[in-house]
Amino acid sequence: MNTTTMTMGRPSLGARLGGLNLFDWAFAALVLGGAAYAFMRYGHSMDGYEQGILLFATPSLIALGWFWKPLRVLMLLVGAASLLAISLYNRTPDGFGADLGAADRVFLLKYMLSSQSAILWMSLLFFMSTLFFWGGFFTKRGEASAAEAIGSRLAWGAVFMALTGTMVRWFESHQIGPDIGHIPVSNLYEVFVLFCWMTALFYLYYESRFKTRALGAYVLLVISAAVSFLLWYTVAREAHEIQPLVPALQSWWMKIHVPANFVGYGTFAMSAMVAMAYLLKTATPRALVIGLLGVPAALIAVILAVRFGAGLPEASIAGLDSWAGKMAGLLVFFALCVLARKPLTARLPSLELLDDLMYKAIALGFAFFTIATILGAFWAAEAWGGYWSWDPKETWALIVWLNYAAWLHMRLIKGLRGVVAAWWALVGLVVTTFAFLGVNMFLSGLHSYGTL
């Protein structure tokens, strides 16, 4: 083997660079040109930290585009759509900047490119993608179906609209007034959008790498659940309205802490849905009934116990009744999955591949979640004067970290595999969901920025 081109069975850096084509270098030039334009156009509004982020992001985006080529097309399309939206806004300036009222008058902004329109398109496309993926289970058994191919393309479209909406919302926030603009990762509405497109991108990468679309229905299911919450939250709380940041969030730490956190949340969610596929394929019907049906049934019992055993105000009782209904719906869904397990698992990849994908997702998420936790400690020291305060959000973040640290320890040291690992990963989603959302719903503390 030629050791100048191969190291440990992988191409060396020189070999990889030598394999780049003209389009690869043209993409790099476009990214560098865009970064230079952003610095010249908006550099006066950036502090040192933001300039550092721009400097770091530029080679990172180039490397990502070279590593996974579909990202190049996605980045270029998102950039073009975002610049088009900005140009449409800038046609009608007001006393401060662009007139955001153009979102109700200009056709393309009103129906596609304003942040709210783009995010609504994201929601629709994710729902449609989920339906096509699930429909693919019942078309052609034993082979890939056209429905799943359409579902995959719709997922790409949803990611495109989500990223476009995020970029345009970032611009819109800067047009409201001085010191209002911020990266859109500051509240539940914005981070749910982040969660949706980031989880979808991780799935699409593994779909391409492992050459299978059979897991799309499972992963898109958790994304559609997030989209459903997002739409409810938008209607119930008008959460799409851009609000000024509270003082504690006016920090450059937010720009790196939150995205790193959601790499963890997204990959943990994906690993749990892969675990669900694994269990449907391998577990006995009795184990599935006890596990998949037992969890929501137990949650319903806890909710009803609290509902009738505690003196709660009417609003709290209504909220608990609503959650009991949601758990009942989940119970019905899991029952249908158990009954239809044969078509739902007919085209799943091998158990070894599912197990490997579950491990890779958790390992990646754990690495980023660890980084996010460390960054959060530095942010807390700057904002509140201490690295750790045992705030409910911090406590549950530690529980999530310990859960996946134990999972990885058992995997690497004790050889944890199979059904036990899958059940553990699935339960991990419950723990992660409570840390992500449940703390905001039922507890209060220093992190109560996105209360319901």
pLDDT digits (tens, 9 = 90+) for 273-322: 999 999 888 877 666 666 666 666 655 565 555 555 444 445 444 455 55
Alpha-carbon distance of 177 to 169, in angstroms, equals: 14
Q: How far is CA 427 from the centre of its chain?
A: 19
**Confidence at residue 212, expressed as pLDDT on a 0 to 100 scale:** 86
Q: State yes or no: pLDDT of 166 exceeds 70.
A: yes
Q: Is 390 left (phi over 0), alpha (psi -120 to 50) or beta?
A: left
Candidates 440, 332, 329, 327; CA nearest to 391 is 440
Tell me if 218 sits within 8 A of 277, measured CB to CB: yes
Candidates 296, 276, 272, 250; CA nearest to 202 is 272
Mean pLDDT (whole number) for 171-194: 87
Show the tokens assigned to 38.
Answer: 């952003």
pLDDT digits (tens, 9 = 90+) for 79-96: 999 999 999 998 888 777
What percentage of the chain exceeds 70 in pLDDT? 81
